[in-house]
């Protein structure tokens, strides 16, 4: 992968980010893997599903800044799961998405 050669990782990687979290050498492999996938058009998800997800998870309504207070939890593309953020650990936390 480092040399730009083909690897089964490029076809089998599901972009779960685990390699980034657990790499014992702090090489940050996730970003290189994704970059090589894009170069080789080795998409981990079929293109129609990707387009559908982009439509489903795209912003709705007007995007406006709002005041948040720490701690802040970034829901990324999953604002529909904000209701799952509960419990003592998350009391008083603000959530953002997008």
DSSP-assigned letters across all residues of the chain: -TTS---HHHHH----SHHHHH-TT---HHHHHHHHHHHHT--SS-HHHHHHHHHHHS--S--------SSEEE-TT-GGGGGG--SGGGTT-EEE--
pLDDT of residue 32: 94
- Could you list the pLDDT tens digit for every one of the 98 residues in the chain? 889 899 999 989 988 899 998 999 988 899 999 999 999 998 888 889 989 988 887 777 888 888 998 999 998 878 888 888 888 888 889 998 87
Query: Can you give the pTM of this predicted structure?
Result: 0.55
């Amino acid at each position: 992968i480092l040399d730009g050669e083909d690897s089964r990782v490029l076809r089998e990687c599901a972009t779960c980010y685990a390699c980034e979290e657990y790499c014992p050498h702090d090489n940050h492999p996730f970003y290189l893997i994704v970059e090589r996938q894009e170069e080789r058009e080795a998409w981990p998800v079929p293109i129609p599903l990707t387009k559908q997800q982009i439509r489903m998870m795209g912003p709705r309504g007007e995007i406006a800044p709002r005041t948040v207070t720490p701690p802040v939890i970034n829901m990324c593309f999953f604002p529909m799961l904000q209701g799952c953020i509960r419990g003592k650990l998350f009391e008083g936390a603000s959530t953002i998405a997008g």
